Structure 1
Amino acid sequence: MAGVVGTEEPRRTGGRTVQILGVAACYYAAAQLGLLRDLTVGGAVVTPIWPPTGVAVAALLILGLGCWPGITLGAFLAVLSLTTPGPAVLGVLLGNTAAPVCAALLLRRARFRTDLSRLRDGLALVFLGALTAMLISATIGVGLLLLSGSLPGQGFWFVWLAWWVGDAMGVLIVTPLLLLLRHGVRRPLPLGRWKEATALVIAVCVVVPLAAYSSISLLFLVYPLIIWAALRFQLTGSVLCALLSSVVATVAATDAVGAFAGLSRVEVLVKLQAFNGGITLTALLLSAVIIEQRNTRRSVERACQELVEVLEHLTAGEAPPPKAQSGTDDDRGRPDEAP
């Protein structure tokens, strides 16, 4: 028995080490993607979307809280690629680690399901995982800039707001996508749906660049596509559509072209974040409502079918069959909690 325990412990330690290194690598790669497009506002460089926060929250939800050192290591590597580490780096690492951990704890307490099959899951991710938890990283990060003299006092609140929204957008855009990849596609689409999906992809590839790069403000044209994707393809379609739209709009905004031409840096950031936030919330919450309604309808249909079978047996004078363990979709399993 001692030999078995002795071999199992190194395996667990080795597996956790691999997970931590994997999280660190994904965090660093996401940081490099986020740094490809940035804006200088109020004397500080901010990113409209900070993907590492989404990677960190998804990793904690999927792998468990034990992978938090990977977030710290990835954040340290990201800072190291930008500047020489100083005493303030410890505070930045603390904020970038504490915010995703807080998000995971709040979501776990809210009995969050990683399949996002209920409206309450979408609301929890928005208000707890993104808007509430990311207050920590924004406050610590901008506070350190102010204390170190890198940021003038009059620019504190706007830089804080930009930092907070960028971190929150990373959670809202990247985390659902990674959770979808974890669950995968449950059933292949029939041929007719593939034709519709192709038509949606073509429409998105045509309309989104037109809306972002047109000198006329046409960004509102993206919303019908988000609604179409949510109604017909639920979370998978709407999240991918929102991701592509956000990326294209961010590129246009940082280049100050199209719908963002002639605006100041502050106006560009406000317009971009309003657009990204609007389409992301529409995609996430509308998809969650549709999925929940469909699950409820399936539960009602199963209950009606069981009732019909019971009535048929009673009419025939037979004992009713044992009740199947169907249950509602809300009772089919417990929320996905990290090990």
Structure 2
Amino acid sequence: MRRRLVGWGAILALAAVYFCAGKFGLSLASLNASASAVWPPSGIALAAVLLGGYRLWPGILLGAFLVNITTQGSVITTGGVAVGNTLEAVSAAWLVHRFAGGLKAFERARNIFKFVLLAAMLSPMLSATFGVTSLCLGHFARWHQYSAIWLTWWLGDMVSDLTIAPLLLVCLARPFIQSTPKRIPEEAGLLLTVALVGSLVFFNPFAAQNYPLEYLAILPLLWAA
């Protein structure tokens, strides 16, 4: 019973996060109220399914339905959009597990390539096709705009899968490295260097001389590596 409650809690939490992220994305929509080139929920949903399993799919379906029904559309068209979003996340996760090493996808170059191709480029086609077709059939978008809206939809999902999903997976799939007394001086020095370089780059005291101080950012990156 407790395990079931925890599972439903995770589903509802995912739906809430999806809804909030979706509202933010659609606030930047221009071509159509339901299509945005900035769509964080796609990457969030992919990372959630990869980390938590396919059992979380109802959270994606619920979140996608709520974010779209409160924007525009009927129950039927919104259902089509939600199904497409859910299929995208589930299919992307399955493809990553099957062909790209699952949670270890970013440990090898060839798996990274497969992740980009399968999860970020191929799977979003499902969501874009389901979504735009549903909108056009429900007269919430015009057929002559189909390709433009489809491309916007696909780009938003693709960019999210390429940026947000990898970030969440890298941060959450592995336990954080615990600091040790020997590492504290090095970590403090690295943070201080980042702060100093950031101050020099953004508050350039040598602006008149036009020095390319932005290249100093390479130093802490090399140190951290």
For normalisation by structure 1, the TM-score amounts to: 0.54
Distance change (3 Å), C-alpha of 1:16 and 1:39: closer
Which amino acid in the other structure matches residue 12 of structure 1? R
Q: Offset at 1:60?
A: 0.6
Q: Distance in 2 between matches of 1:185 and 1:81?
A: 38
Q: Offset at 1:190?
A: 4.7
Which amino acid in the other structure matches residue 149 of structure 1? H
Counterpart in the other structure of 2:138: 148
Is 1:35 matched with 2:36? no
Counterpart in the other structure of 1:106: 95
User: Within 5 A, what are the aligned runs for 1:221-240?
Assistant: 232-233=223-224
Is 1:50 matched with 2:39? yes
Q: 1:23 aligns with which of 1, 14, 27?
A: 14
Counterpart in the other structure of 1:280: none
Is 1:138 matched with 2:128? yes
SS at 2:101 equivalent: coil
Deviations 1:196-243 (A, max 9, x none): 3454466568869x9xxxxxxxxxx99996x77765546xxxxxxxxx
Distance change (3 Å), C-alpha of 1:168 and 1:201: farther
Counterpart in the other structure of 1:126: 116
Which amino acid in the other structure matches residue 37 of structure 2? P
> Would you say how many aligned residue pairs link Structure 1 and Structure 2?
211
Counterpart in the other structure of 1:87: 76
User: Within 5 A, what are the aligned runs for 1:1-339?
Assistant: 10-36=1-27, 38-41=28-31, 43=32, 46-83=35-72, 85-115=74-104, 116-182=106-172, 183-188=174-179, 190-200=184-194, 232-233=223-224
Contact 1:60 1:101 in 2 (8 A): yes
Which amino acid in the other structure matches residue 185 of structure 2? L
Deviations 1:31-68 (A, max 9, x none): 233234x1413x55532221111111111111111111
Q: Offset at 1:69?
A: 0.6
Distance change (3 Å), C-alpha of 1:190 and 1:160: same
Contact 1:91 1:141 in 2 (8 A): yes
Percent of residue pairs bearing the same amino acid type: 32
Greater Rg over alpha carbons, structure: 1
SS at 2:38 equivalent: coil
For normalisation by structure 2, the TM-score amounts to: 0.78
SS at 1:49 equivalent: coil
Which amino acid in the other structure matches residue 150 of structure 1? F
Contact 1:100 1:133 in 2 (8 A): yes
Contact 1:44 1:159 in 2 (8 A): no
Q: Distance in 2 between matches of 1:51 and 1:165?
A: 11
SS at 1:87 equivalent: helix
Q: Distance in 2 between matches of 1:202 and 1:145?
A: 51
Q: Distance in 2 between matches of 1:203 and 1:48?
A: 32
Which amino acid in the other structure matches residue 16 of structure 1? G
Q: Distance in 1 between matches of 2:4 and 2:190?
A: 47
Which amino acid in the other structure matches residue 58 of structure 2? P
Distance change (3 Å), C-alpha of 1:198 and 1:121: farther
Contact 1:146 1:156 in 2 (8 A): yes
Give unmatched runs, 5+ long, in structure 1: 1-9, 211-220, 235-339
SS at 2:118 equivalent: helix
Contact 1:28 1:77 in 2 (8 A): yes
SS at 2:72 equivalent: coil
Q: Offset at 1:155?
A: 2.1
Contact 1:107 1:125 in 2 (8 A): yes
Q: Distance in 2 between matches of 1:160 and 1:222?
A: 38
SS at 2:139 equivalent: coil
Which amino acid in the other structure matches residue 169 of structure 2? L
